[in-house]
Structure 1
C-alpha cells in the first residue's frame, strides 16, 4: 500500500477512520486522514499486542483524505465506545492492506453500528517500511497517547473464563470491603467462588497473562493515557476500576486475607495471583510516580516485556523519561541494538554523573556487549525474580559506597572503558544461589559455609556489631520497608535495630506449609520481600578480610570486590588478560577486568572503603573494564 507522506514540519500524524457495520461478519473498511498534533484533534488511541506477523488478513483502506473536525465533539467523560464523529471528504481510491489476526479482531469488535470511529493505530498509521517516518513517529508517541481522548486496551477475543475474571475485578474495584475469602464477611462471590478456588484464580491469572501484559510498547500507551478502557471481546472494564481492584487486593492481602495460595504459581504460566497484581502495580506506579524513577530503572522495570525489535527496549520507554533523562537519546533505527544500549548507558552517566548503569548487569545476557554495558534483552528466570530485582534497584539509591565522590568513567577504545577506584578485597568462599532452590535451604546452607560458625558468634569487627546482628542485616541489605502516604517506602536500618520482624520471618520459613498461612503477616511479608531483593541473582560470600555479603551468582573464589567513585554499591570484578599489545603499551601497568555486577558487602556501603584509603594516604587505582 502506498502511504501519502507526512509533513514533519506540521507535526502531522495519520488517523484511521473505521467505518460502521451492522453485523460482525461485515467486511472491515477504513480510511486515513492527515491531522496535526498542534491542533485540537479528536481521536482514540488503540493499545494492543500486534500478534503473529505471519498470520495476516486483508482489509480495505480508502485513500488518504483531509481531516475535518465535527462541531459535535465527543466529551471527554463519555464511554470509549462512543467515539468522535467526524466529517471528511468523500474518498476516491481504495486499496487492501494486510493486518495481523489480532488487529483484525480488534477492528471487528471496535466498530460502531451508526457512525465511524476515529482511531490512531501504530501498525496502520505509521508506514512501518519507511525507516525515516518510523523514527519520526516514534518520537511523537508520547504526545499521541497523551492527547488521545481515551486509550482503548484491546486484550483479545473473549475466552472461557474472561467474563468471570473481569466480573471479579469489577467487584473488587467497586467495593473495597470485599474479602478475598468467602469465609469472611462480606466475602467475594463470583459464580459461587472466592479466591480460595483454584478455578477463579486461574481465570484471573489468564487475564493478566494475555499478550497485552507482556508487550513493552503498551507500558507508555497505558501510562500516558488521560483515560483507559480495557476491552476483551465486547466486555469493557474501566482503567479506574482495575486500579481500585489492585488496591483492594493489596489492602486485604496485607491484613485479613493473606493466604499462601496467593503465592502459588498456576499451571504453565509460572505466575501466581500475587505476581499478576505486581504487573498492574508496575504500570500504576509508573503512571503516577515516573518522575521519581530514573530512566534506567523504568527500562529495567519492564525489560521482561517483549518487543519485535530489541532496540525498542530503549526506544519504547523514551516517552516516559522526565527531568534530566528527557530526550536521553534520539530514536535511530539505523543503529544496532548494541549501539543503542551502549548509548543509553553512557548518556545516563553523562546526565547524572553516576554509575547507576553498572547495577543493571543482571540476567542471562544475549548480546555481544562489553561487560560494563547492560543487556536489556537479558533473560530473567522468573517473574518473581524480576520483581525482586526492581526492589534491589530501589535499595541501591539508599547506599553511598563511594562516599559521594564523583565518578570518573571514559571510553578509551571500542569495548574498553577506564575508571579509577579501590580494589578492596577478594572473595574467599561462595554459598548457594537463591535462584533455583527453596530459600529455606539457601539460608541454612549459608551457615554451612567454611567458617560459618563465625557468622553467629563473636563480633563483626568492621561495624562493631555482633556477627549475628551483621548476618541479619546482611540478609535484608540493612533495609526496611515502611508505609508513607499509603505507599510502601524503602529506608536504611540505622543504629540499634529491633529484629523482631526478621525473627518472625525465620519462624515462618521454618514451619510447615499448612501452618504458614497462620503465621504470615505484614512483618513476615516485608522481611521476605527484602530477603529476595538482596539475594535473587546472587550468592552469599565471605571475603579474605572477613566481610560477608551477597555478590552476583556468577562470582567465584578469587574474584575482586571493588569500590568506584560515583558508585552507590561495591562491584565484583574478574581480572582478564590483555590481548591487544598496542593497547597494553599505551596503558602501562593498568589491569583489565570484566565486571560481573554489583553487590552488598556489609560494612562498606557508606563510604568506609574511601575513608580507609584517606587514612592510609593511598591513591586510587586505574581500572580498565572490557
Structure 2
C-alpha cells in the first residue's frame, strides 16, 4: 500500500502517515566464504539543513577477519565502496521523536544530487519505503554530518541493526565483539610490545605506521588510539595500558617533561629480550623528557649503556643515580605545587612495590638485588603512596642526613640511612580485594568489609591494642576506631582520581565522614551511597594489608608485612617505611617492650649526630665483621600510618626525651 503524499512549497514530499520502514532480513552467508553481512546507511545529500533526513539502507558483505586469521588465509584489502564511518553517540532516553526516511536503492539513485528529488509516487526515481524512528541526539548528529553534494556512508547501530529482531540484535552483538576482537588481535602484534619502539617513536622527526599495504602518519594512528580510549571496556587491561602509552608517546612534543622513574612506570608493560634493556631502551626518552633536560648534568643522570655490566649492576647503578639526583623541582611537573621531589623516597617506594620478594616469578631477579633497588623485571604489586605529598611529610623535625650507598664483600650494596624506629607491628589484618572487584555486587563488598572490621576487633583484643577506655577510640587521632579504619584504607584519600566524586567535590570528604558519624560508624551500610569509596579502597588496598602497632597506631603496608617489622620514619623521606631486621625479635618480646612504651632498645645503633658520610666506613667495617652484632635491615614497604604523617613522630620522641635517631644499614 502506498502512502499518500503532499508536496510542500519547497517541493519536498511529506509523509502523512509515517509508515514504518520494514527491514529486509540480512543474507545468511555460507560459512566457508568467511564473510558476514551488514547494512550501511547511504545518507543522501542536501543543501537545505532543515530538509528531512533521507537515506538508502544497503546490504554489503565484508570479510570476517578473525575467521580468516584463524584459517591462516590472506587478508583481503578493503573495497573502496565499503569505506564507511561508524558513528559513536549516546542513545539517551528511549524516546524517538524524529525520523529518518528510507528510500529505495535503484541504479538511478546513484545520480541523485539532492535528497529533495526523491519521490513517493510510482513515476521514475527512488521510492519512499518508510521511516525509522530515531532519537533527537542521532537526528542532530546526522544533520550535522550530512553533506551538500555527495552521499555519506555510515554505520549506525540504531538504524543498521533491526532493533525489533532479537536474533539480529544477538548476531550484531557478536559482530561488535568480533570487531573488538579484530582490534585486540591487531594490538597483539609483537611490535606493540617491543620496548625499543618507544625511543624510535619519541625521538624520530616524523613517524609513519605501515601494516601490509596500508601506511598512515602517526598523528592519524594516534587519533585512532584516542578514539579507542573512549571504549576501554572492550579491551583487556594490557591493551588498555598499551593504548594509553601509545597516545602519550608524541603528545606535547618538545615541551613534555617527566621524571625518569615516571617514564619507566608509564612503559613498564613493554617487553624486551635482555633485562638490561628495561632501562637501556628508555635512556634516550628519559633524557629527552627530563625536567631541565637541556643541561649536560641532567642529560647524564641516566648513565650510559654498557652491556659488559650485569643486570644487577645496571639496576643498582641506576638506583644510586636516582637517589643522588634528589633535585628540588619547585615543581615544574605540577603547576602550582611547591613541594620538592625527593627521589630517594620514590626509589625506595618502587623497590618495595615491584617486590623482588616474590620468588615464584621466574622472570624476577629474586635475592640478587638489595631490597632498596627496583627490580624492573618485576610486576607492580601495589600503588606507591604519593612520594611528594603537598604539606605532608612524616620526617618533619628529624635531622636531615644524606643516604649513603656502600659495597659489601658478597657483592651486594646497602644503604646507610638514619631515622626513628618509631614503633613495631604487632598484628596484620588482610582485606579481600577480590570481593570488592565483583561488578554490581555491592552485597559482596559490604559483607567483606563487615568481616574485615570483625577481624580488626579480634586482633585488637588478642594483642591488647589500646583503644581508649570505651574500647572504640583511636587514641592517636582522638576519633572513633572505625573512622580511623575508614581513613586508613584509602590512605587519607591519597589515590583519589581527579574525575571521581571525591576528586571533583571539595566538600565530599567531609560529607562522607559526617555521614559515617551519623550512621553510628557502621561503614558497610554506607557503601551503597558511596560507590566511589569502594573504588578508592580497591586502588589503595590492592597488594596491601592493615596493621596494628604496639603503641596504638594503625596503618597500611605491603601484604608481606609481618609482626616484628619496624615502622620507621627515615631522614628527609616523606613517608614512613616498614623495615625488617635480620634478627627479628619475637612477637611476645615486642609486645612486652611496647607495654613499657619503648621499642627503641631493640633496633638499630644510636646515631651520635656526626655526618653519616664520616661514619660510613666504620659502619661498613662493622658489618663486614662476622662477629658483629650490628643488624642489617630489609626494606619491606612504604606505609600510611594514621596520625603519623605530619611530623608527629619527632614531636612524640622529643616529648619523651629519648635519643630516638638510629643508623640503619639496609
TM-score category, normalised to shorter length: 0.5 to 0.7
Give the alignment of 1:111-122 within 5 angstroms.
none
Cα distance between partner residues in 2 of 1:333 and 1:228: 29
Secondary structure at the aligned position of 1:605 is classed as coil
Q: Give the conservation status (yes or no) of the 8 Å contact 1:163–1:235.
A: no
Offset at residue 539 of structure 1 (A): 1.7
Q: Give the conservation status (yes or no) of the 8 Å contact 2:394–2:569.
A: yes
Matched with 2:182 is 203
Give the alignment of 1:496-575 within 5 angstroms.
497-499=510-512, 524=531, 527=533, 529-575=535-581
Q: Give the conservation status (yes or no) of the 8 Å contact 2:558–2:638.
A: yes
Cα distance between partner residues in 2 of 1:172 and 1:488: 38
Give the alignment of 1:385-534 within 5 angstroms.
389=383, 392=384, 397-398=389-390, 399-403=392-396, 406-414=400-408, 415-432=413-430, 439=437, 440=445, 443-451=449-457, 458-479=472-493, 497-499=510-512, 524=531, 527=533, 529-534=535-540
Provide TM-score, normalisation by structure 2: 0.53
Secondary structure at the aligned position of 2:265 is classed as helix
Secondary structure at the aligned position of 1:309 is classed as coil
Distance 1:500 1:451, change over 3 A: closer
Q: Give the conservation status (yes or no) of the 8 Å contact 1:480–1:492.
A: no
Q: Which moved more, 1:450-459 or 1:358-367?
A: 450-459
Q: Give the conservation status (yes or no) of the 8 Å contact 2:553–2:642.
A: yes
Cα distance between partner residues in 2 of 1:212 and 1:458: 57
Residue deviations 1:256-294, cap 9 Å, x none?
xxxxxx28xxxxxxxx44652332223434644795532
Name stretches of at least 5 consecutive residues in structure 2 with no aligned partner. 1-67, 95-133, 139-154, 162-171, 293-297, 327-341, 357-363, 438-444, 461-466, 517-522, 585-618
Residue deviations 1:544-567, cap 9 Å, x none?
222222211211111111111122
Distance 1:487 1:559, change over 3 A: closer
Secondary structure at the aligned position of 2:511 is classed as coil
Q: Give the conservation status (yes or no) of the 8 Å contact 2:354–2:374.
A: no
Matched with 1:350 is 324
Provide TM-score, normalisation by structure 1: 0.56
Cα distance between partner residues in 2 of 1:245 and 1:465: 51
Distance 1:250 1:496, change over 3 A: same
Distance 1:228 1:586, change over 3 A: same
Cα distance between partner residues in 2 of 1:173 and 1:588: 74
Matched with 2:213 is 234
Offset at residue 429 of structure 1 (A): 1.6
Q: Which of these two proteins has the greater Rg computed from alpha carbons?
A: 2
Residue deviations 1:95-126, cap 9 Å, x none?
xxxxxxxxxxxxxxxxxxxxxxxxxxxxxxxx
Q: Identify the match of residue 605 of structure 1 among 602, 621, 645.
A: 645
Secondary structure at the aligned position of 2:578 is classed as strand
Residue deviations 1:457-513, cap 9 Å, x none?
8333323433333222222222267787x999979989962228999xx889978xx
Offset at residue 574 of structure 1 (A): 0.9
Distance 1:179 1:377, change over 3 A: farther
Secondary structure at the aligned position of 1:555 is classed as coil
Distance 1:252 1:472, change over 3 A: farther
Distance 1:481 1:241, change over 3 A: farther
Cα distance between partner residues in 1 of 2:385 and 2:320: 18
Offset at residue 316 of structure 1 (A): 1.4
Q: CA RMSD in A?
A: 4.9
Offset at residue 336 of structure 1 (A): 1.0
Cα distance between partner residues in 2 of 1:394 and 1:492: 20
Cα distance between partner residues in 2 of 1:576 and 1:449: 29
Cα distance between partner residues in 2 of 1:564 and 1:443: 32
Distance 1:533 1:586, change over 3 A: same
Matched with 1:214 is 193
Secondary structure at the aligned position of 2:429 is classed as strand
Secondary structure at the aligned position of 1:539 is classed as strand
Cα distance between partner residues in 2 of 1:548 and 1:172: 59
Offset at residue 315 of structure 1 (A): 1.3
Q: Give the conservation status (yes or no) of the 8 Å contact 1:479–1:490.
A: no
Give the alignment of 1:26-37 within 5 angstroms.
none
Distance 1:477 1:457, change over 3 A: farther
Secondary structure at the aligned position of 2:663 is classed as strand
Cα distance between partner residues in 2 of 1:246 and 1:499: 37
Q: Give the conservation status (yes or no) of the 8 Å contact 1:421–1:563.
A: yes
What number of residue pairs does the alignment pair up?
428
Q: Give the conservation status (yes or no) of the 8 Å contact 2:225–2:247.
A: no
Q: Give the conservation status (yes or no) of the 8 Å contact 2:229–2:244.
A: no
Secondary structure at the aligned position of 2:575 is classed as coil
Q: Give the conservation status (yes or no) of the 8 Å contact 1:572–1:598.
A: yes
